[in-house]
Amino acid sequence: MNIYGHIKKANNELAVIFNEDNMKIIKNELIVQAIMDSWLYLNKFIKNVLPDWTQYFNSRLENIRAEELLITTDMVKDSFTQYERIIKEREVKSYINRYIKLMESLLTFNKPFEESCAICQGELFYYTDLVNSIVFKECSTCGTHFDPLTDKAIVHKGSQVRPSTRFELLNEGINEL
């Protein structure tokens, strides 16, 4: 099977996330499983283009615990718009970029319809700095960090950073369920 065959298979695996029922009631397990199933078809190809990201993503998936993710209906709705574009993408490099973006939108907490970067209007994703034990949001375009509650730009050097967990986000009062 060539790369286009693999892309088609990967898209089919992701489709389950966006069926009508699954978009109404978010099931983390189902989303994580669909992502893992899609990744099996793409891993080899993306590794040739982006070895570092592939290594990062492999380790992310190995360590992921579905119940620790906070995935909102807004995140899935926003990702669906991206999914509709990705399935029409014919250029491999662009497909890979869209796939990476889609993975971030689904697996890293964000508020796609509520907020954007004050400087460049880019999208904000929530991360936890494990050394300083703080949650911050980072603009995916300009890289600025913001305090999640005051929205003030902050500067910190995080040597150990990973996407925020459900517990951390609820604990900080960033999202209520």
The span from the CA of 141 to the CA of 10, in Å, is 26
DSSP letter at 16 equals G
Number of residues that bind Zn ion (CB under 5 A): 7
Q: Strand locations in the chain, DSSP E?
A: 124-129, 134-139, 145-146, 153-154, 161-163
**CA 4, 23, 71 angle in degrees (round to 5)?**
90
Among 35, 42, 117, 169, binds Zn ion (CB under 5 A): 117
Among 31, 96, 139, 169, binds Zn ion (CB under 5 A): 139
Torsion of CA 162, 168, 174, 177, to 10 degrees: 120
Q: Report if residue 120 touches Zn ion, rule: CB under 5 A.
A: yes
- Shortest distance (Å) from residue 137 CB to Zn ion: 10
User: C-beta of 78: minimal distance to Zn ion in Å?
Assistant: 17
- Piece of the chain touching Zn ion by CB under 5 A; list 65-73, 94-102, 105-113, 132-140: 132-140
Residues that bind Zn ion (CB under 5 A): 117, 119-120, 122, 139, 141-142
